[in-house]
Structure 1
Amino acid sequence: MAVDVRQVVYWMESWAPPALAEPDDKIGLQIGSLKNKIERVAVALDVTDAVVDEAIARGAGLIIAHHPIIFRPLAAIRTDRADGKLIKKLLANDVSVYASHTNLDVATGGVNDLLADALGLTSTKPLKTSVVETLYKLVAYVPHSHADRVREAVFAAGAGQIGKYSHCGFSAEGTGTFLPEEGAAPYLGEPGRLETASELRFETIVPERRKAAAVKALLAAHPYEEVAYDLFRLELPGEPFGLGRVGSLPSPTTLKAFAERAKTAFGVPALRFVGDPDKVVRKVAVLGGSGRSYVKHAISAGADAFVTGDLDHHTAHDALAAGIALIDPGHHIEQIMKAAVAARLNAHAAAQGWDVEAYASAGSTEPFVFL
């Protein structure tokens, strides 16, 4: 099945919804058109000349990037300057660019979960909660003949999850009444005659991000021409989402040993750490990118060590005074998202029968050289 940019964007935003992004973050389609047909997708941390040249050579019509290509406001697009030349090259070769930044950091299975998994953290939760998802009760009235079909369709669309339990729902017997009017094509009964039907009232819980998909699945699986269903907003708190993760190590270790583990996990040639090398580390916070303003959150969470990038001299001194260790493997460790996003998109494409292939951009966009 031929695929366009819009379909890939819809899939990406069902995983990492824009609503999860930090305020004023520059996310979404930044270059190109949603209507373009594509056969290949490049996944990159940054959009550089080398990444774009690789995309053109490999026939990629879309680049999914973690770091937005347009982050600061553009006063002009000058094709005699580096940024303008890059935009011109993308447009001339019909390559679209989509940015999924802090929404992908926050999303379940996104950048910060990948970093936490690489470090071996368990029982993780957000370092700083920014959004608590709204929950809804979805109620539908279904004939017995299609009850199982409707249930499975709605559950497959992401409804029915309560904590570590899936497929959560409830059904009760009842009788539905309806009178098909002229021009109707009822599944049961005939126009002009009042009909009664033995039905099940099926209800389940659905989070905000799955609401549209669950309703779509319900309507597709239900046999009635007009489906009776309700959505009730609940007061119960849903899943918390936020930047960073904090979790526990399987067993205590020293700061030096944990720093070595981080170096290996992220494949970096060097890293910096702050603190006593013999300090015992049990609880760890991690945040991809630049995390100096989140040190206080790591302290509040009771972390023994905080792994993040772009740390400065004064933040290091403040951490020493506060008694928390810091490990700085650099900003570029977020490149862990490339292979993960490509693999996830390829699995979805295979399940949907899409004629599209995703690949992780091969080149490194690390701007620093280590001696």
Structure 2
Amino acid sequence: MAVRIQDVVEALEAAYPPELAESWDAVGLVCGDPQAVVQRVLFCVDPVEATVDESIDFGAQLLVAHHPLLLRGVHGVPADDPKGRIVHRLIRAGIGLYCAHTNADSAVHGVSDALAAALGLTVLRPLAPHAEGAQTGLGRIGELTEPEPFRDFVQRVANSLPTTAWGVRGAGDPERPIRTVAVCGGAGDSYLATAVAAGVDAYVTADLRHHPAGEHLSRADVPGTRVPALVDVAHWASEWPWCQQAADTVAAALPDTVEVLVSTRRTDPWTVHAGAASDPGRALA
């Protein structure tokens, strides 16, 4: 029996219920006929030109993305607009687009679970549960099998995620033992205080800004406050492990009926990383 877009949507929404999405979010089927037959599905973080190209090359009938294409209200999708062009290309190629964003962030076995698994963590509970005792919520708290120095943990993170120009940065004592870890896929500096309250050794997230990070670290001067070390990674890299998780979810729900593929196109916007100045005299003490 032929699998249709609606069948894939039902499998995704069973795993990542739309009601878990934040009120401001835009999740669900963006374009495509729910009754269209699906043989191949591509999974990615960003619905951009590169992943549309990859979908066409793969012969996919459905592109599943984490980030929404049309997050804010629009009044048109003309083909000479960047987002409109993507919609037109998908429709012309007969490819549907489905987006699972904050519902995938908050679901059990969601984005942060995939990040934790990539880092070798055993997940214990959500970082910011929807309710006391709930298993749904943003971020995850997990632990390593054995403690390791912070410098080694930062290297573990770098080894576990796709390489990006942004790289992986650590803030904290390089020799500090790390065992319990909070993670939050995507931009997570709004949960710095939550990570402090959780009493973890380190917090891994993306897009950490100068002032929130500096203010967080300064709290170590407050008696009785345990401040986790920080690991900052590229936003795209922190969410990319979810793609395989979502692909496995669909494959398990619709066994031997659809072919799934995880995008290998690096859609992180940063392309160049410069190291230390070549002239040592330019460096500050």
| Alignment TM-score, normalising by the size of structure 1 | 0.67
- Residue type at the aligned position of 1:343: D
Q: Which of the residues 274, 277, 282 maps onto 2:179?
A: 282
CA contact (8 A) 1:290 1:310 kept: yes
Rounded to whole Å, the distance in 2 between the matches of 1:89 and 1:43 is: 17
1:297 is matched with which residue? 194
2:277 is matched with which residue? none
2:21 is matched with which residue? 21
Shift of residue 291, structure 1, vs aligned partner: 0.2
Rounded to whole Å, the distance in 2 between the matches of 1:113 and 1:286 is: 9
- Please give the residue correspondences for 1:133-172 in structure 2 after superposition, counting only pairs within 5 Å: none
Give 5+ residue unaligned stretches, structure 2: 220-226, 274-285
3-state SS of the aligned residue for 1:240?
coil
1:250 is matched with which residue? 145
* Structure with the higher strand share, 1 or 2: 1
Rounded to whole Å, the distance in 2 between the matches of 1:264 and 1:18 is: 33
Rounded to whole Å, the distance in 2 between the matches of 1:321 and 1:296 is: 12
Paired positions, count: 263
Rounded to whole Å, the distance in 2 between the matches of 1:131 and 1:94 is: 41
CA contact (8 A) 1:20 1:131 kept: no
Q: Which of the residues 337, 347, 352 maps onto 2:242?
A: 337
> Over aligned residue pairs, what C-alpha RMSD do you find?
1.7
Rounded to whole Å, the distance in 1 between the matches of 2:111 and 2:194 is: 18
3-state SS of the aligned residue for 1:363?
coil
2:232 is matched with which residue? 328
1:311 is matched with which residue? 208
1:349 is matched with which residue? 254
- Residue type at the aligned position of 1:305: A
- Residue type at the aligned position of 1:53: D
Shift of residue 11, structure 1, vs aligned partner: 0.9
CA contact (8 A) 1:273 1:327 kept: yes
2:73 is matched with which residue? 73
3-state SS of the aligned residue for 2:135?
strand
Shift of residue 306, structure 1, vs aligned partner: 0.6
Shift of residue 240, structure 1, vs aligned partner: 2.8
2:119 is matched with which residue? 119
1:49 is matched with which residue? 49
Shift of residue 309, structure 1, vs aligned partner: 0.2
| % identical aligned pairs | 38
Between structure 1 and structure 2, the one with the greater Rg is: 1
Give 5+ residue unaligned stretches, structure 1: 133-236
Shift of residue 123, structure 1, vs aligned partner: 4.7
3-state SS of the aligned residue for 2:109?
coil
CA contact (8 A) 1:319 1:325 kept: no
